Amino acid sequence: MPLFDFSDNKGNIIECLVPKGTSTIDVDGVVYTKTDGPSGFAMPGKAVGIPSQEDQVKAGYHKLECEEGSRFLRQSTFSTKQIKRAWGF
């Protein structure tokens, strides 16, 4: 059974495991209607953020330089100064 969000006419929202195709439920005399939109959720634990785009680019350049050595800059059509200026280094 899937988990769906249901809301009443006052805006209260509950989550309930119901069979697929259920559109309304009755809880303690209050009728709840299935909501259309997806609901947000949170996962407890240690949050690990995604590095910024600048840090990802730096890491990518560092990886290529380590793999290719001095050949890396010879293959690029841009100068070192142009690359640094484009990424704000």
Q: How far apart are CA 40 and CA 47, in angstroms?
A: 16
31 pLDDT above the threshold of 90: yes
33 pLDDT above the threshold of 90: yes
66 pLDDT above the threshold of 90: no
More confident residue, 6 or 51: 6
Q: Are 22 and 33 in contact (CB under 8 A)?
A: no
Segments making up each domain of the chain, as ranges: 3-34, 53-86
Q: How far apart are CA 27 and CA 1, in angstroms?
A: 18
Report which DSSP code applies to 46.
-
Q: If you average pLDDT over residues 76-85, what whole number do you get?
A: 78
Q: How far apart are CA 83 and CA 61, in angstroms?
A: 10
pLDDT value for 59: 86
What confidence tens digit (pLDDT) does each residue in 1-16 have? 688 899 999 989 898 8
Q: Which single residue is written with the structure tokens 């947000």?
A: 40
